Amino acid sequence: MAKSVLTITLNPTVDKSCEADGIKPEKKIRCSQPKYEPGGGGINVSRGLQRLGVRSVALFTSGGRTGEMLEKLLQKENIDCKAVPVTAETRENFIVVDTASNDQFRFGMPGEDITKEEAEAIHSEILGISPLPEIAVISGSLPPGIAPSFLKRLVKELKAKSIKVVADTSGEALAAILEEGVYLLKPNLGELSKLTGREELDNESADEAAKQLIDEGKAEIVVVSMGPQGAYLVTKDETLHVPAPSVKKLSTVGAGDSMVAGMVSVLANGGTHSEMARMGVACGSAATMSKGTGLFTKENAEKLYKWLSK
């Protein structure tokens, strides 16, 4: 039986995407009918897990008209939701693809302030989940009003309950989380460089930088996302490189979240590190084969996983 998974999204979004033929300044742009999809790191991980046959609970903040839309969109996908009400309107992001050039323009909004009282309510909801999850995924950005120290405290309390924490965020939020240390960390090369103080990382030095984080107690497993070069999975005792398969790239939106979903699906089912790395790369690569804000399809992910397993 798969381990139970909780995903935590403190700054969720509804992703609104469309297409336009030729984007030029000061010109009225004729767009296609917009498509609305649930968004935010942890929410996308839950959506990816659903496609891989692993159930999870998606906990997220929800406010206003956009929050109601977000909840309805997730219900349509049969995602188990735990929406924590807040007064701030849930944000929207906007993505438009220029069909003349296939260039993608991504506009990310910051979200509105969360009050101190609401932050405490969110904290209580997370720790009050019953039964307790065996894996907790913290993914995405922090909304205004929630300090990075919130995550440090949260990770400490989750670990005290023997919950394996998976982290995929950035900046001050990531630095705060790593003060407590996590089970699995997924940085890209830029984030790994900042965390370790090493400039201009490449394939060889990424391995050393990842082991530095492990030696410092900041993570047990570090999976370095290398984009088109695949990923490195590093533990105290091993280093695995999984090359990215060559695919027709239509969009990079959701590729990182898809990679996390692939890895967590293997972790939940008790798979090996090698299987975890291959499924992560397969799902991340499969996501780039989908248009707009679409995540990977199960068919594409499984096909790429089989190719990587040869």
- The three-state DSSP-derived secondary structure of 4-43 is CEEEEECCCEEEEEEEECCCCCCCCCCECCCEEEEECHHH
Give the residue, 189 or 139, on which the prediction is more confident: 139
Instruction: Give the pLDDT confidence score for residue 136 in this predicted structure.
Output: 98
The alpha carbon of 192 is separated from its chain's Cα centroid by a whole number of angstroms, namely 16
How far apart are the C-alpha atoms of 267 and 278, rounded to whole Å? Answer: 12
How far apart are the C-alpha atoms of 99 and 262, rounded to whole Å? Answer: 30
Give the residue, 226 or 81, on which the prediction is more confident: 81
Using the predicted structure, report yes or no on whether residue 225 has a pLDDT greater than 70.
yes
Give the residue, 292 or 179, on which the prediction is more confident: 179
Local confidence band at 272 (pLDDT 50, 70, 90 cut-offs): very high
Beta carbons within 8 Å of 300's beta carbon, 6+ residues apart: 286, 289, 290
Instruction: Give the pLDDT confidence score for residue 252 in this predicted structure.
Output: 76
Using the predicted structure, report yes or no on whether residue 246 has a pLDDT greater than 70.
yes
Q: Domain range spanning residue 143?
A: 5-23+31-308
Instruction: Give the pLDDT confidence score for residue 292 in this predicted structure.
Output: 63
The verdict on whether omega for the bond into residue 25 sits within 30 degrees of 0, i.e. cis, is no
Local confidence band at 250 (pLDDT 50, 70, 90 cut-offs): confident
Instruction: Give the pLDDT confidence score for residue 117 in this predicted structure.
Output: 96
Cα R_g (the chain), whole angstroms:
19
257 is catalytic: yes
Give the residue, 74 or 288, on which the prediction is more confident: 74
SS3 183: strand
Segment 12-32 shows an average pLDDT of: 93
Instruction: Give the pLDDT confidence score for residue 284 in this predicted structure.
Output: 94
Q: How would you classify the pairing of strands 57-62 and 5-9? A: parallel
Segment 222-248 shows an average pLDDT of: 91
Give the residue, 229 or 181, on which the prediction is more confident: 181
Using the predicted structure, report yes or no on whether residue 251 has a pLDDT greater than 80.
no
The alpha carbon of 253 is separated from its chain's Cα centroid by a whole number of angstroms, namely 11
Using the predicted structure, report yes or no on whether residue 222 has a pLDDT greater than 70.
yes
Segment 39-60 shows an average pLDDT of: 96
Using the predicted structure, report yes or no on whether residue 253 has a pLDDT greater than 80.
no
Are the CB atoms for 36 and 60 separated by under 8 Å? no
Local confidence band at 2 (pLDDT 50, 70, 90 cut-offs): confident
The total of other beta-carbon atoms located within 10 Å of residue 106's CB is 15
Looking at the structure of the chain, the number of domains it has is: 1
Segment 167-175 shows an average pLDDT of: 93
Beta carbons within 8 Å of 99's beta carbon, 6+ residues apart: 19, 20, 21
What are the backbone dihedrals phi and psi of residue 145, each rounded to the nearest 5 degrees, phi first? Answer: 100, -20
Segment 114-120 shows an average pLDDT of: 96
Question: What angle separates helix 148-160 from helix 171-178, to the nearest 10 degrees?
Answer: 30
The total of other beta-carbon atoms located within 10 Å of residue 310's CB is 4
What's the CATH code of the domain at 127? 3.40.1190.20
Segment 29-44 shows an average pLDDT of: 94
